[in-house]
Amino acid sequence: MNYKITAHPDGGLQVYVACESCSFVILPTADIERATRAMCSHTAARGHAVFKRTTNDIAVVVLADKAERERRAEANRLEYHHLGGAAEDEAEHAQAGA
Ligand SMILES: [Zn+2]
């Protein structure tokens, strides 16, 4: 089976920055622009221009074959209904609406 790795839609890119010349760090943040401005400010204030920058995201492994992915999604949906999942959902909705 062929798989591929993609960025998880709920996991944004984060950056972590550490100055190579002192203990200045920017803790992991999704605000890349703000981190960039903080690096520029640090360089302006201290003259330190080299940073170790680490970016990370949330990766997810999915089936590379679209047809196989859809076949499995359908199989899961049918099994969910077979096990009574849909009936439970309707009962919960009915309670929530009452
Ligand atoms: Zn520094």
Using pLDDT thresholds of 50, 70 and 90, give the confidence band for residue 9.
Answer: confident
- Tell me what the mean pLDDT of segment 7-23 comes to: 91
Using pLDDT thresholds of 50, 70 and 90, give the confidence band for residue 42.
Answer: very high
Which structural domain range is residue 86 located in?
65-98
Are 39 and 69 in contact, with CB atoms under 8 Å apart?
A: no
The chain-wide mean pLDDT, for the chain, equals: 88
Q: How many domains does the chain have?
A: 2
Residues 50, 91, single domain; the answer is no
Residue 42 Cα to ligand 1 middle (Å): 7
10 Å CB burial of residue 27 (0-12, 13-18, 19+) is exposed
Residues 74, 41, single domain; the answer is no
Residues 33, 45, single domain; the answer is yes
Residue 20 Cα to ligand 1 middle (Å): 6
